[in-house]
Amino acid sequence: MAVAQAKQDLTETRIAALDMPGGAGWAAEARGAALSRLRAMGLPTRRDEYWKYTNPASLTQVDAPRAAVFHAGDEVPLYDGIDRLKIVFVDGVFDADASDDLSLEGVEIERLSDAMAKDIHWARDLFGVLETAGQTPVARPLAALNTAFATDGVVIRATGRVEKPISLVYLHRAETSDAILHHLVRVEEGADLTILENGPAAARFNKCMEISVADRAGFHHVRAQGRDHERRAATHMFARLGEESTYKSFTLTVNGVMTRNEHVIELTGDDAVAHVAGAAMGDGKTGDFHHDDTVFITHDAVNCESRQVFKKVLRNGAEGVFQGKILVKPDAQKTDGYQISQSLLLDEDSSFQAKPELEIYADDVSCSHGSTTGAIDETALFYLRSRGVPTEIATDLLVLAFLDEAIQEIEDARLADDIRLRLQQWLERRRKG
Amino acid sequence: MLSIKNLHVKLEEEDKQILKGVDLEVEAGKVHAIMGPNGSGKSTLSYVLSGRDGYEVTEGSATLEGEDLLDMEPEERAAAGLFLAFQYPVEIPGVGNMTFLRTALNAQRKARGEEEISAGDFLKLIRAKAKDLKIDADMLKRPVNVGFSGGEKKRNEILQMAMLEPKMCILDETDSGLDVDAMKLVSDGVNALRDEGRGFLVITHYQRLLDHIKPDVVHIMADGRIVKTGGPELALEVEQNGYADILNEVA
């Protein structure tokens, strides 16, 4: 189907404002192919079914809308007490001085541009490959744009049990920065790697991570998206899982005028496990809040397990969206698929839209999904107040309790506690606001 | 201590009068019991005093040590020294029992302009009080009332009372759902809190709780009013003859 003229114009205008970075032959080819994909799909508009609940206009326009920089004051930074290897990006540009030395046992880390300059590199088998696979059956044009034009990123290859997490820190300094980052992660057979991400990255952030998890390998991911009220983000995690491998991802989102987080996961080896979770807390009082979790999990092997747990707390006109799909292919017998999306609306101005989907072609599977929207439990609130807890603190206790079901999905207890502490501090600060 | 005068209360949602002129004085150091048949307004009285939504006071007053209770938010009433032990304690998944109690205790202290209790002192205090009520460490760590048996929930109410040290305690059908052993444990917990400076209002359907928590004064409530007041012997009369005789007598 030809791309409508308006869509074509939108796409060409955006492309014209971007420069394609150079690289080795294979890299240029991959970039070129991504550009062709983008042109064939066209950038998304509100009229696309996949963007029915989220208006992509601010993500596709040429200039990034201005976003004030949030100052955390004397707060202790996230993951502060956790021994990790830090890789810092400032407004989407790698900052070598602020980053740790990139050598660590069991893992090779390079800057994307360095890898792409080499004629022979494993990145060739991954760069744009999972993104391309993830374009069917649903188009993800912002990811194709990312592959074509990403200016920076890291490529990480884990060959053993990596002792400490790799921590990607995204600092936002310039009010109109527009960052496009692309990371590649390859976890080799039997290896295990944890990636942490935190920070808003830029006024507008387009991030793509392609993750290949080999047989019996493990990938763990904990992310916090920063608190800058006006920041915008469109992120994609494309993952392919081998036999008996594990993929676990958790995202915390507080504030942010626009966020669209997509997970596209293929379970291609038997007995693989994929868990994705998210906790989002939006307050429309400090600027619009729109948060969209879009998940697409394909079961293409026997006896695999997938689990989606997404919780949102929304107030003062904040908007939440969940689109989650489990696709079970004909041979994916013994699939165990679970999906839950829940929102807690603290007032009548806030809204939550959920579109859970199951598409099952195998006959011996167990799949369930659920979605709920509710107000605060008045009985619990009264009980807490009757013991002397003021309404605001009582509400926060119930909010934390609600989000905790998603936080419990984090396997590493230290990381889970750090996320909890962060939320408590943020709520406290908000109360004192 | 607690002074209720000519209290009239109706349901907010519908035009139904529940309390039709309640007068009651509970002095410090005394235990008053309210008995009465179902639907007489006993529980409504406890809800209105603690500040639950859904009720409208149309006439009368309720004060605690001279302070107007009806004008306060539920948390302010708690900080002023009022405590309601719920007939049906609420389960709150995800909120730890300890976190809940420490938050409550510190919020009350803060509201009264007192120092917050340190984590160490709090732990010592709650361990000692929990031991008396046979509440183990596991119950303290679990989410508030989640998965607790009926008896455990009621013991947990008394633990909260012991920790918060209110001036005026209202017990709403605390005996419901308790077996004999649990009743003894709960009553012992309440009796341990009896003190010259503290008043109690024990709402109950049956006399048996009053065997354990000996009241100074017994009131009979019917159709939104207190219809008869007497000593502990009044509770025995109810036990033997039911409410019908008393109600006929005052009708």
HEC profile of B66-119: CEEHHHCCHHHHHHHCEEEECCCCCCEEEEEHHHHHHHHHHHHHHHCCCCCCCH
Q: Does the pLDDT at position B37 exceed 90?
A: no
B180 in reach of chain A (CB within 8 A): no
If you measure CA to CA, which chain B residue comes closest to A395?
B95
Is there a contact between A390 and B100 if contact means CB atoms under 8 Å apart?
no
Q: Does the pLDDT at position A1 exceed 60?
A: no
Q: If you average pLDDT over every residue of chain B, what do you get?
A: 92
Work out the burial of residue B119: count CB atoms within 10 Å of its CB; fewer than 13 is exposed, 13-18 middle, 19 or more buried: exposed
A432 in reach of chain B (CB within 8 A): no
Q: Does the pLDDT at position B111 exceed 80?
A: yes
Whether cis (ω within 30° of 0) applies to the bond prior to A137 is yes
In three state form, how does the secondary structure of A385-402 look? HHCCCCHHHHHHHHHHHH
Minimum distance, in Å, between the CA of residue B239 and any CA atom of chain A: 32
Is there a contact between B100 and A387 if contact means CB atoms under 8 Å apart?
yes
Chain B residues touching A383 at Cβ < 8 A: 86, 89-90, 92, 144
Chain A residues touching B84 at Cβ < 8 A: 386
* Residue A356 phi, psi dihedral angles, 5° rounding: -85, 140
Mean pLDDT of A126-144: 97
Give the nearest partner residue to B92 out of A378, A383, A391, using CB atoms: A383
C-alpha to C-alpha distance for A344 and B235, rounded to whole angstroms: 47
Residue B250: band (very low, low, confident or very high) from pLDDT cuts 50, 70, 90: confident
C-alpha to C-alpha distance for A180 and A205, rounded to whole angstroms: 6
If you measure CA to CA, which chain B residue comes closest to A379?
B90
Alpha helices per DSSP H over A235-377: none
Task: Name the nearest CA neighbour of B195 among B68, B70, B31, B77.
Answer: B31
Minimum distance, in Å, between the CA of residue A404 and any CA atom of chain B: 7
Chain A residues touching B116 at Cβ < 8 A: none
Give the global pTM. 0.92
Give the nearest partner residue to B107 out of A393, A398, A404, using CB atoms: A393
pLDDT at position B185: 87
Beta-carbon contacts of A179 under 8 Å, excluding residues fewer than 6 positions away, are A89, A91, A92, A93, A151, A152, A170, A201, A202, A204, A205, A206, A207
pLDDT at position A147: 98
* ipTM entry: 0.95
Interface test with B, best of A379, A383, A393 (most B CBs within 10 A): A383
Beta-carbon contacts of B218 under 8 Å, excluding residues fewer than 6 positions away, are B32, B33, B34, B35, B210, B229, B230, B231, B232, B234, B235
pLDDT at position A132: 98
Mean pLDDT of B130-153: 89
Encode pLDDT of A192-212 as tens digits: 999 999 999 999 999 999 999
Angle at A239 between CA A279 and CA A167, to 5 degrees: 60
pLDDT at position B181: 86
* Residue A77 phi, psi dihedral angles, 5° rounding: -65, 155
Q: DSSP for B169-191?
A: EEEESTTTT--HHHHHHHHHHHH
Is there a contact between B94 and A388 if contact means CB atoms under 8 Å apart?
no
Contact B130, B124 (CB under 8 A): no
Contact A184, A147 (CB under 8 A): no
Give the nearest partner residue to A401 out of B53, B78, B95, using CB atoms: B95
pLDDT at position A171: 96
C-alpha to C-alpha distance for A33 and A29, rounded to whole angstroms: 6
Is there a contact between B100 and A382 if contact means CB atoms under 8 Å apart?
no
Residues 352-391 of A with CB under 8 A from B: 377-380, 382-391
Size of interface A-B (CB pairs under 8 A): 80
Residue B251: band (very low, low, confident or very high) from pLDDT cuts 50, 70, 90: low
Contact B4, B64 (CB under 8 A): no
Contact B156, B129 (CB under 8 A): no
C-alpha to C-alpha distance for A15 and A132, rounded to whole angstroms: 19
C-alpha to C-alpha distance for A208 and A343, rounded to whole angstroms: 26
Minimum distance, in Å, between the CA of residue A349 and any CA atom of chain B: 22
Is there a contact between B78 and A385 if contact means CB atoms under 8 Å apart?
yes
Task: Name the nearest CA neighbour of B89 among B164, B167, B174.
Answer: B174
Minimum distance, in Å, between the CA of residue B35 and any CA atom of chain A: 23
Q: If you average pLDDT over every residue of chain A, what do you get?
A: 96
Is there a contact between A385 and B108 if contact means CB atoms under 8 Å apart?
no
Chain B residues touching A378 at Cβ < 8 A: 53
pLDDT at position A75: 78
Mean pLDDT of A230-258: 97
Tokens found for residue B94 = 């995800």
C-alpha to C-alpha distance for A187 and A168, rounded to whole angstroms: 17
Is there a contact between A379 and B73 if contact means CB atoms under 8 Å apart?
no
C-alpha to C-alpha distance for B192 and B207, rounded to whole angstroms: 20
Mean pLDDT of A299-317: 97
C-alpha to C-alpha distance for A386 and A395, rounded to whole angstroms: 13
Q: How far out from the chain centre does Cα B53 lie?
A: 17
If you measure CA to CA, which chain B residue comes closest to A407?
B94
B108 in reach of chain A (CB within 8 A): yes
C-alpha to C-alpha distance for B74 and B77, rounded to whole angstroms: 5
A398 in reach of chain B (CB within 8 A): yes
Q: Does the pLDDT at position A346 exceed 80?
A: yes
If you measure CA to CA, which chain B residue comes closest to A396?
B95
Lowest mean pLDDT segment, chosen from A335-344, B22-31, B154-163, B240-249: B240-249
Interface test with A, best of B53, B73, B86, B90 (most A CBs within 10 A): B90
Beta bridge partners of B5: B61
Q: Percent of chain A beyond pLDDT 70?
A: 100
Identify the residue whose tokens are 């030395």: A101
Encode pLDDT of A54-71 as tens digits: 999 999 999 999 999 998
Lowest mean pLDDT segment, chosen from A44-58, A132-146, A334-348, B177-191: B177-191
C-alpha to C-alpha distance for B144 and B154, rounded to whole angstroms: 12
C-alpha to C-alpha distance for B139 and B136, rounded to whole angstroms: 5
Is there a contact between B104 and A398 if contact means CB atoms under 8 Å apart?
no
Angle at B189 between CA B188 and CA B190, to 5 degrees: 90
Encode pLDDT of B206-222 as tens digits: 888 898 999 999 999 99
Minimum distance, in Å, between the CA of residue B105 and any CA atom of chain A: 7
Give the nearest partner residue to B78 out of A386, A400, A405, using CB atoms: A386
Given 3-state DSSP classes, what are the helix, strand and coil percentages for chain A, each rounded to the nearest 5?
A: 25, 35, 40
C-alpha to C-alpha distance for A294 and A52, rounded to whole angstroms: 12
| Angle separating helix axes B150-164 and B180-193, nearest 10 degrees | 10
Integer CA distances (angstroms), B62 to B39, B48, B65, in order: 21, 9, 10
Interface test with A, best of B49, B72, B103 (most A CBs within 10 A): B103
Encode pLDDT of A364-395 as tens digits: 999 999 999 999 999 999 999 999 999 999 99
Is there a contact between B94 and A379 if contact means CB atoms under 8 Å apart?
no
Contact A85, A165 (CB under 8 A): yes
Is there a contact between A385 and B79 if contact means CB atoms under 8 Å apart?
no
Residue A287: band (very low, low, confident or very high) from pLDDT cuts 50, 70, 90: confident
B98 in reach of chain A (CB within 8 A): no
Tokens found for residue B9 = 């209360």
Integer CA distances (angstroms), A219 to A81, A188, B170, in order: 21, 10, 54
pLDDT at position B13: 87
Q: Does the pLDDT at position A344 exceed 80?
A: yes
Angle at A392 between CA B173 and CA A381, to 5 degrees: 25
Tokens found for residue A305 = 């397990």
- Give pairs for A7-12: CB < 8 Å, separation 24+: A7/A42, A7/A43, A7/A45, A8/A42, A10/A42, A10/A43, A10/A45, A10/A60, A11/A38, A11/A39, A11/A42, A11/A43, A11/A141
C-alpha to C-alpha distance for A236 and A180, rounded to whole angstroms: 12
Contact A151, A21 (CB under 8 A): yes
Q: DSSP for A110-166?
A: EEHHHHHHSSS-GGGGTTTHHHHHTTSSS--HHHHHHHHH--B-EEEEE-SB-SS-E
Contact A298, A265 (CB under 8 A): yes
